[in-house]
Structure 1
Amino acid sequence: MSLYFYYLQILFKSQMQYRTSFWLLSLGQFFIPFSVFAGLYFLFEQFGQIKGWQFFEVALCFAIIHMAFSISECFARGFDSFSSLVVNGEFDRVLVRPRSTVIQVLGSKFEFTRVGRLAQSIIVLIWALANLSIDWSLMKGPTLMFMVLSGMMIFTGIYILAATLCFWTIQGLEVTNIFTDGGREMAQYPLNIYQKWIGKFFTYVIPFGTVNYIPLLYLLGKTEGNDMLYPFTPLLGSLFIIPCLFIWHHGVKHYRSTGS
């Protein structure tokens, strides 16, 4: 991890060499999800509620998912742009270095300008929490934090899977954006507003439901029966990254250089 933080320090210094550009890009990232949130706001202004969910309840869901996505997009960007390493033959250099390929790819690129998207999500989170009557307990605070961290792990796992495909396809596949950008757009609403098969897929296959729906019910006091397991669902969702890492190592073993 010392190597990872060294990568982090170097890339941060390099991006801060052009500070005006950095802050303008960060400002742009602030307004990108703002337009999406504005659409959410006007939707509820028109209809009032969606399947029993009020505006600030969905705003809380929105904030959590976008926080998780922005953190993952910042620190796991190396996997999102991994295809360039394969195309240019630069992954060969990664393999001969005596360090984990995961750490090296993670450290190959950081997008610190995503701080703008993160800031907007934090503002929405604070606004939503200020307008919700949540009966806070010893478990609800950590649950909220684990929802964000688990979402970050799930998005990172999807980036890893998309990068692993590049060992066979060379170029990255745009279809994987269905589960990154599409997953973000889908998960900013509670899962029960969709058809049942969508809810099951995004709970048991790609576990966004363990981040944006099941623990959200617990935070808002909407659970039925025993609610002792609800706070731990984000931890279960974070385990999604483990099979992703196994698949990655399987792909590394089958890597064939492009000869570039």
Structure 2
Amino acid sequence: MKLYWKYIVILFKSQMQYRTSFWLLALGQFLVPFSAFAGLYFLFERFGQIRGWSFDEVALCFSVIHMAFAISECFARGFDSFSVLVAGGDFDRLLVRPRGTVVQVLGSKFEFTRAGRLLQSVMVLIWAISQLAVDWTVLKAITLLLMVASGVFIFSGIFMLAAAMCFWTIQGLEIANIFTDGGREMGQYPLNIYQKWVSRFFTFIIPFGCVNYLPLLYILDKTTGNELPYMAAPLAGILFIVPCLLIWRIGVRHYRSTGS
């Protein structure tokens, strides 16, 4: 982790060499999600509620998933652009260094301008909490933090899986965007508004339901029966990173270089 923090400091200093560009990009990242939030607002202005969910409740869901995506994009962007390292043969240099490839790839790229998107999401979160009549407890606050952490691990894991595919395909696969950008858009809403096969896939295969639906039921006091599984659901999302790491290790073992 000492090496990882050195990567962060070095790349932050390099990006701050062009401060005007940095702040303009951060401002763009702050403003762009507002269009999605505005669309959410007008949707509820027209229909009032969706499957029993109010605008304030969905706003909480919206803020959590966008916070998780912003943090993941900032700190796991190296996996998203991993195909460049493979295609150019630069991954070979990482293999001969006395540190793990995961840390090195993570440290190869950071997008600090995503702080703009994160700030916007935090603002929506604070607003949603202020509007909801929720009896907040320590356990609910911890659950909310775990929801964000769970989303970060899931998005980072998807970035890692997409990067691992590059060991066989060389170039990145655009299909991965279905689960990153698509997962972010889908995760803005509670899963029960979708068809059953969609909600089941995104609960038991890619566990976005452990981020934006099951623990949300606990926070909003909409659970039936034992509350513990709903409260602990984000932990399943965090564990999603384990099979992703295993697939990454399999990919590294099968890497045959580019011949350059």
Both structures adopt the same fold (TM-score exceeding 0.5)? yes
The residue type equivalent to 2:195 in the other structure is Q
The residue type equivalent to 2:221 in the other structure is G
Q: Deviations 1:77-105 (Å, cap 9, x if unpaired)?
A: 00000000000000000000010000000
> Equivalent residue for 1:93?
93
> Equivalent residue for 2:38?
38
> Equivalent residue for 2:22?
22
Q: Deviations 1:94-127 (Å, cap 9, x if unpaired)?
A: 0000100000000000000000000000000000
> Equivalent residue for 1:220?
220
Q: Are 1:107 and 2:107 matched, yes or no?
A: yes
Matches within 5 A, 1:113-132: 113-132=113-132
The residue type equivalent to 1:59 in the other structure is A
Q: 1 CA distance for matches of 2:44 and 2:65?
A: 19
> Equivalent residue for 1:145?
145
- Deviating above 3 A after TM superposition, structure 1's stretches of 4 or more consecutive aligned residues are none
> Equivalent residue for 1:165?
165
Q: Deviations 1:147-190 (Å, cap 9, x if unpaired)?
A: 00000000000000000000000000101100000000001100
SS at match of 1:188: coil
Q: Deviations 1:47-91 (Å, cap 9, x if unpaired)?
A: 000000000100000000000000000000000000000000000
Report sequence identity in percent. Answer: 72
Q: 2 CA distance for matches of 1:191 and 1:217?
A: 11
Q: 1 CA distance for matches of 2:183 and 2:45?
A: 25
Q: 2 CA distance for matches of 1:228 and 1:110?
A: 36
Q: 2 CA distance for matches of 1:41 and 1:54?
A: 11
Q: 2 CA distance for matches of 1:3 and 1:228?
A: 38
Q: 2 CA distance for matches of 1:255 and 1:22?
A: 35
TM-score by length of 1: 0.99
> Equivalent residue for 1:180?
180
Q: 2 CA distance for matches of 1:121 and 1:61?
A: 10
The residue type equivalent to 1:147 in the other structure is M
Q: CA RMSD in A?
A: 0.6
Once the 2 structures are TM-superposed, how far is the Cα of residue 30 of structure 1 from its aligned partner? 0.7
Mean CA deviation greater in 208-217 or 226-235? 226-235
Q: 1 CA distance for matches of 2:237 and 2:6?
A: 29
Q: 1 CA distance for matches of 2:206 and 2:228?
A: 23
The residue type equivalent to 1:6 in the other structure is K
> Equivalent residue for 1:81?
81
Q: Which runs of 5 or more structure 1 residues have no equivalent in the other structure?
A: none
Q: Deviations 1:116-146 (Å, cap 9, x if unpaired)?
A: 0000000000000000011112210100000
Q: 1 CA distance for matches of 2:173 and 2:10?
A: 29
Q: Are 1:55 and 2:55 matched, yes or no?
A: yes
Q: 2 CA distance for matches of 1:252 and 1:244?
A: 12
Q: 1 CA distance for matches of 2:166 and 2:236?
A: 28
> Equivalent residue for 2:192?
192
SS at match of 2:155: helix
The residue type equivalent to 1:187 in the other structure is G
Q: 2 CA distance for matches of 1:236 and 1:167?
A: 27
SS at match of 1:85: helix
SS at match of 1:139: helix
Q: 1 CA distance for matches of 2:224 and 2:230?
A: 10
Q: 1 CA distance for matches of 2:92 and 2:229?
A: 45
Q: 2 CA distance for matches of 1:92 and 1:181?
A: 29
Once the 2 structures are TM-superposed, how far is the Cα of residue 256 of structure 1 from its aligned partner? 1.1
The residue type equivalent to 1:119 in the other structure is L
SS at match of 1:252: helix
